[in-house]
Amino acid sequence: MRRQAVTLTVSSVLALLLVLLAAKLPAPYVRRVPGPVTDTLGTDHGKQLITIAHPTATPIGRIYLLTVSEYGGPRKSISSLDVIEGWWNSSDAVIPRRLLYSDQVTPQQVAQQDNNDMIASQEEAKVAALRYLGYPLTPGVDIAAVSLPALKDKLKPDDIVIGVDATTVPNRDVLLKVTTAYKPGDQITLHVVRGTQKVDVPVTLQPPVNGGKSPTIGISVVDSFTKPFAIDINLADVGGPSAGTAFALGIVDKLSDGLLTGGKTIAVTGTIDSDGNVGAIGGVIQKMAGARRKGATLFFLPKDNCAEALTAVPHGLRLVPMTTLTGAIDAMKQLRDGAAIVPGCPSS
């Protein structure tokens, strides 16, 4: 009996060690969980998230933007224990890595794309909000980043290029077409709007990069419009396009009476384009969970995400679908004014 007890004890210890070892083994999955939630009407890292160089209201209520945090990623595995925990938590998603990332993509490439998407979403949000409010806008290309050191004293992020020499530039396709007609070493003059000032900036074209055929200026650009005053969005460590609608609503609230939410806490997710169209996002289940944990009772989401959202709505969270910025604002005003019913997600 004594020998059997020792054998059983040793076997149990070995089995436990094997389980612990297996739990630490890497698994080719990605785990997505509810991420940080930030108030677009408030601050991030001690700074106002949205600052506007124009008289603004002091908003009441909150408009939360929602994020998803990711464990694993391109060329990264997670532990088997992470996989089990992710399967156990209904608010998490565990996805085979190969379905999200090819073996050729790098973490740096994903991070760069996420950053580009965030910059573009901020620009689209500013334009959509200003258009909704009726401000006059002139099309051009917004300088997202200046990559050529020699230009850093001449051009600034958020400068809007509206022309090159005698050619009007309403978008980046036209800008590329114009530069294609030149060769490296040629000098051109960019007509730039900086804030409310117009500036002419001479630049020397550089050799093509990344296998391209056209000379380059040394800047990264996104399609945008001139603005009547500066709008800055300061959000650290977040990428992707899904906060666009929350940004636009925050800008509208600040530039109107600040009463859009009626003092309510409203969570918002959705991409947006410059015409105010709201688009689908990823991670809606994680975002709903994050919103409810922060106390939101209203969740504005793209209508295209309704079917997935209805499979896992947290208790106490009311879904309000959106297709446009105007529709979202109308729904908020109805709720603010005491409407008992606004359209919800269709059940089928």
- Domain spans in the chain, listed from the N-terminal domain onward: 30-132+232-336, 138-225
Q: What is the pLDDT of residues 99-156, one digit of tens each?
A: 999 888 999 999 999 999 999 999 999 999 999 999 989 999 999 889 988 899 999 9
Give the pair of three-digit tokens for residue 180: 């294609």
Least confident of 93-97, 206-210, 263-267, 273-277: 206-210
Task: Say if CB 32 and CB 70 are below 8 A apart.
Answer: yes
Q: Under DSSP, is residue 267 helix (H, G, I), strand (E, B) or coil?
A: strand
CA of residue 331 relative to chain centroid, distance: 22
What percent of the chain shows pLDDT beyond 90? 71
Task: Say if CB 64 and CB 296 are below 8 A apart.
Answer: yes
Which CATH code of 3.40.50.10190, 2.30.42.10, 3.40.640.10, 3.40.720.10 fits the domain covering 138-225?
Answer: 2.30.42.10
In the predicted structure, residue 13 carries a pLDDT above the cut 50:
no
Residue with more model confidence, 347 or 158: 158
How far is residue 241's CA from residue 40's CA, in Å, rounded to a whole number? 15
240 Rama sector, left if φ>0, alpha if ψ -120 to 50, beta otherwise: left
The whole-number pLDDT of residue 1 equals 53
Give the pair of three-digit tokens for residue 106: 């790098």
Residue with more model confidence, 214 or 249: 249
Q: What is the pLDDT of residues 156-186, one digit of tens each?
A: 988 999 999 999 999 999 999 999 999 999 9
DSSP, residue by residue, 10-79: HHHHHHHHHHHHHHHSEESEEEEEEEEEEETTSEETTEESEEESS------SEEEEEEEEEESBTTB-EE
The whole-number pLDDT of residue 318 equals 95
CATH architecture of 30-132+232-336: 2-Layer Sandwich (3.30)
Question: Can you tell me the mean pLDDT for 8-26?
Answer: 50
How far is residue 284's CA from residue 286's CA, in Å, rounded to a whole number? 5
